[in-house]
Amino acid sequence: MVSPRAWRGVMTAILLVPGLLCSEEIFAPQLPTLWPHGPVAIANTLAGETMAEIAARILKNAPPRFALAGVSMGGYLAFEILRQAADRVEKLALICTSARPDTPEQTAARRKMLDQARAVGFERFLNLGADALTHPSRKGDPALNAVSIRMGRTVGLDGFARQTEAVIARPDSRPLLAEISVPTTIVVGDADPLTPMALSEEMAAAIPGATLTIAADCGHVITLERPEVVNKALDAWLTR
């Protein structure tokens, strides 16, 4: 994370928040598009046990005001950042995420996945699930799989466990949606298996003035699968 001192005198900054089992590499294809709009920082999501704690740590190191973009779990954290410091958020981008809390079935599936990671060994777990959330046309893509495995190694098993429990315990963010007054863009893949398109449509309908972009033939790992779609949406968002 960039030191807060580096942000002095900057009118607009961009803060990116990675998802579950993701490092800063999840946003690598977006950086060339984002840098011309202003300085970019990628949040550390590994410090804290709950969404509230992780968000508070992010805010401690964030610039005074910023355009905020979160992918998947990063979207859950974006909502928590709004709860804690809405006055610091100038714009909001929600990428392949949801405002809803976990269902009991989702919680059970997450805990089963964590148990599997511990049982088979974390490295094997990462290799087995490297392309679990990508579009069927990208299954077995060696470049995408390599990024997924590298990011998982960066987070580690302990980090994965903390993130999983924080995600499970997250609150329902739907009551916040109508109160969001900053320029908001929402981006999702049409075949996202984790946060289906209907969840993004729900957010777009509830947030005043929000725009929605749907990437064709795309799964959950949208920033890597369809970077050109994400980049175009973010470029338009930052110029609003």
Domain membership of residue 155 (yes or no) is: no
Domain membership of residue 201 (yes or no) is: yes
Per-residue pLDDT of 31-52, as tens digits, reads 999 999 999 999 999 999 999 9
Starting at the edge strand found earlier in the chain, the sheet holding 40-42 runs 40-42, 14-17, 66-71, 89-95, 184-189, 211-215
Domain membership of residue 178 (yes or no) is: yes
Average pLDDT over residues 159-169: 98
CB-count burial class (<10 Å; 0-12, 13-18, 19+) for 197: middle
Per-residue pLDDT of 54-90, as tens digits, reads 999 999 999 999 999 999 999 999 999 999 999 999 9
Per-residue pLDDT of 186-196, as tens digits, reads 999 999 999 99
For the chain, how many structural domains are there in total?
Answer: 1
Structure confidence at residue 11 as a pLDDT band (50, 70, 90): low
Domain membership of residue 141 (yes or no) is: no
Nearest of 76, 69, 45 to residue 172 by alpha carbon: 76
Range of the domain at 52: 4-102+167-238
Domain membership of residue 209 (yes or no) is: yes
The whole-number pLDDT of residue 2 equals 41
Q: CATH code at 24?
A: 3.40.50.1820
Per-residue pLDDT of 137-162, as tens digits, reads 999 999 999 999 999 999 999 999 99
Q: What pTM was computed for the model? A: 0.94
Q: Of all helices (H) and strands (E), which one includes residue 150?
A: helix 142-168
Residue 6, pLDDT > 90, answer no
